[in-house]
Amino acid sequence: MNKEHIKLSATAAKLWFGTKQVLKNVTVAFPENKITALIGPSGCGKSTLLRCFNRMHDLSPDARIEGKFLLEEQNLYKGNLTATAVRRRIGMVFQQANPFPKSIYEKINYGLKINDIPKHERPAIIENALKESYIWDEVKDDLQKPATKLSGGQQQRLCIARTVALRPEVILMDEPCSALDPISTSKVEELILKLKKDYTIVIVTHNMQQAQRIADKTVFMYLGEIIEAGDTHQLFNKPQQEMTGNYVKGHFG
């Protein structure tokens, strides 16, 4: 737990939607090959912070961002780095498995097509991504089946497969299990734990048990600020801030 290599970081990050400030001076760092959980009450800006890293806010015209966002040494908003190049290196898994009616194969193929990966390489990459995401055995018999026919948990693992197929360095996950039953959740968690050796993972969750089960580090946010960040065990059991203690014990939020 000492001397970690920092993969992704934000320094003095501020974000406004119109005149409303949602992130107020956020400084946070995510170590490489670790899982960091982002917790905090609804509306505190977790998703907003996460989306700063893959430049999703570029798409909303009324969002204004300040601060420094680094992937390794690379400033994500400076120089001639395009948003699409950033998103290629920083993948994202959403809260709801994207219900776009496409086949399982096509769902992963889409990202490969977009990124100009040669046609003949794609089948192998797709198979590999599905295997890596521990869903291959469940879908290998019919890859042309509509993805919407899969269970919620399978769809979510498929979304993870779509993300890993592009070999990003960081995977951002925004409440990936909030729509899943306990069994699917544990499968997805198992997968996330296995992915950690190859990827740096940031996961937003409202589930305190989940954070404790899978996260090495936990960051607690409140009203657009980081209240406390540290090793998961310490943050849950010996929080430095009273507010953190209250939140993780379920006394507010």
Q: Is residue 98 close enough to count as binding other proteins by CB under 8 A?
A: yes
Q: Is residue 16 close enough to count as binding other proteins by CB under 8 A?
A: no
Q: Which of residues 145-174 bind other proteins (CB under 8 A)?
A: 159, 162-163, 166
Q: Which of residues 53-112 bind ligand ATP (CB under 6 A)?
A: 60
The secondary element (H helix, E strand) that includes residue 69 is strand 63-71
Q: What angle in degrees, to the nearest 10, is found between the helix axes of 104-114 and 152-164?
A: 20
Q: Is residue 99 close enough to count as binding other proteins by CB under 8 A?
A: yes
Cα distance between residue 8 and residue 163, in whole Å: 18
Q: Is residue 47 close enough to count as binding Mg ion by CB under 5 A?
A: yes
Q: Is residue 239 close enough to count as binding ligand ATP by CB under 6 A?
A: no
The residue whose two tokens read 């801030």 is 241
Q: How far is the CB of 128 from ligand ATP (least distance, A)?
A: 32
59 binds, among ligand ATP, Mg ion, other proteins, none (CB under 5 to 8 A by kind): other proteins
Q: Which is nearer to other proteins, 50 or 139 (CB)?
A: 50
Q: How far is the CB of 195 from other proteins (least distance, A)?
A: 16
b/e map of 199-214 (b: 16 or more CB within 10 Å)? bbbbbbbebbebbbbb
183 binds, among ligand ATP, Mg ion, other proteins, none (CB under 5 to 8 A by kind): none
Residue count of the chain, please give it.
253
Residues 170/7, Cβ–Cβ less than 8 Å:
yes
Strand, helix or coil for residue 115: coil
Q: How far is the CB of 153 from ligand ATP (least distance, A)?
A: 20
Q: Is residue 56 close enough to count as binding other proteins by CB under 8 A?
A: yes
Please give the structure tokens belonging to residue 163. 């993300």
Segment interacting with ligand ATP, rule: CB under 6 A, options 35-43, 116-124, 150-158, 193-201: 35-43
Residue partners of 221: CB distance under 8 A and separation at least 6: 26, 38, 39, 40, 44, 45, 46, 49, 227
Q: How many CB atoms lie within 10 A of CB 95?
A: 14
Please give the structure tokens belonging to residue 169. 């360095």
- Kindly list the residues in this chain that would bind ligand ATP in the complex (CB under 6 A): 17, 22, 40, 42-48, 60
- Kindly list the residues in this chain that would bind other proteins in the complex (CB under 8 A): 54, 56, 59, 61-62, 83-85, 87-88, 91-92, 94, 96, 98-100, 110-111, 114-115, 159, 162-163, 166
- Kindly list the residues in this chain that would bind Mg ion in the complex (CB under 5 A): 47
